[in-house]
Amino acid sequence: MESECDQIRSGAQASLHGILVADFSRVLAGPLAAMFLGDLGATVIKVERPGTGDDSRAWGPPYVGSMSTYFTSANRNKRSVTIDLADPADVRLARTLATRADIMIENFLPGKLAQFDLDPASLHRDNPGLVYCSISGFGGGEAAFAPGYDFVVQAVGGLMSVTGQPGGEPTKVGVPVVDVLTGLHATIGILAALRERDRSGLGQHVEVNLLSSSISSLVNQGAGYINGTGTPVAMGNRHPSVAPYETLRAKDGPLALAVGNDRQFRALANALEMPELALDHRFRTNPDRVTHRDELAVQLESALKMDTAANWARRLQEAGLACGTVNDIAGALALATRLGLNPVASFPASAQTPPISTLANPLRLDRTPVRYERPPPALGADSKAIRGWLESDHTELSDWDVPTGT
């Protein structure tokens, strides 16, 4: 089968080839959305403040060379230009970029860009086909001017209340998951608007906010609450509606085990050489097991303590059950590599950046694979070329094929 690299070399055109993205966003949700579009072949121009650039450039350690790894996580496949919105001449360049773009992404406080005629209404007069995506913390209403940071939104959005140990302090997820989800929602909205533009020729304003993304991520927990079953609470690694669906102690450490139906539970009981568990009235059906989950855990751990988590994972997987050891990040990457999933995309050193590795895009497209063509850029790496293009009369992307850093 032809590999992704072979497809690229043979001239397979990327899904978003010819699409220009003006990325006026910073930190994570917006930059992630722009990076996903860049992975799919769009040309992404990242607009940054002179001197400091994206806030996340300073969010370290750790660093790769002088660049924070936080910044590298969301900014591959982009060109960087510095533009000062306090300078009227630079504002004109910013407007030129927006009027030439197919997509604009921004996460300024709502209404802020109207000062520079960079708001949707102003830009649509000159560029009616523009897909304009605004990302905010709390939408454009009463809390429009409240800055949105993932940690705070996890707190006020309910996610922390169902994360952590029972009776313990509410706990955030270990990564900025709300920013990641919001970036994905933004990408979905942008692609939907781009597809509709194919029919109508018109762009539209796409709006997403961190609070709505956080609340939508509550899925089953939120559905239980709004349908009158009470307020969910933190349950550690347990599932509110399925058992066993938790971590259980094996001989040397925890084993993650997820049993989704009664047939699987019978298979588990047989694999543990405890077939009587499937006949016990306390454990016969999933509602029974949820009711008696503490007693069930005692029974299961009495068997699991006889062997290591890794050995049990292997045996139970062979029995068709979903289970695994609790890996750290190194273990997770090693597993994905062993399974042929290629979890890391690496870039060699360039004149402006050291060798940089990023986590790979999880999409697999058999005809138009994702691409890793540009490392995360140094601040203003492409300013000269981009400014020259914006000041020229050559408006098409086909008129501009500039290597990074020139």
| Residues with active-site annotation | 179
Burial (CB < 10 A; 0-12, 13-18, 19+), residue 16, is buried
Asked whether the beta carbons of 374 and 21 are under 8 A apart, the reply is: no
106 secondary structure, DSSP code: E
305 is written with which tokens?
């303590």
Distance of CA 183 to the CA centre of its chain: 6
Q: Number of helices and strands (H, E) in the chain?
A: 15, 13
Residue type, 51: G
Asked whether the beta carbons of 359 and 180 are under 8 A apart, the reply is: no
378 is written with which tokens?
């140094």
Asked whether the beta carbons of 147 and 135 are under 8 A apart, the reply is: no
- Distance CA(215)–CA(2), nearest Å, equals 41
163 secondary structure, DSSP code: S
DSSP string, 312-377: HHHHHHHTT-EEEE---HHHHHHHHHHTT---EEEE---SSS--EEEEPP----SSS------PPP
- Distance CA(305)–CA(254), nearest Å, equals 10
- Distance CA(259)–CA(246), nearest Å, equals 9
43 is written with which tokens?
């040309």
Asked whether the beta carbons of 124 and 201 are under 8 A apart, the reply is: no
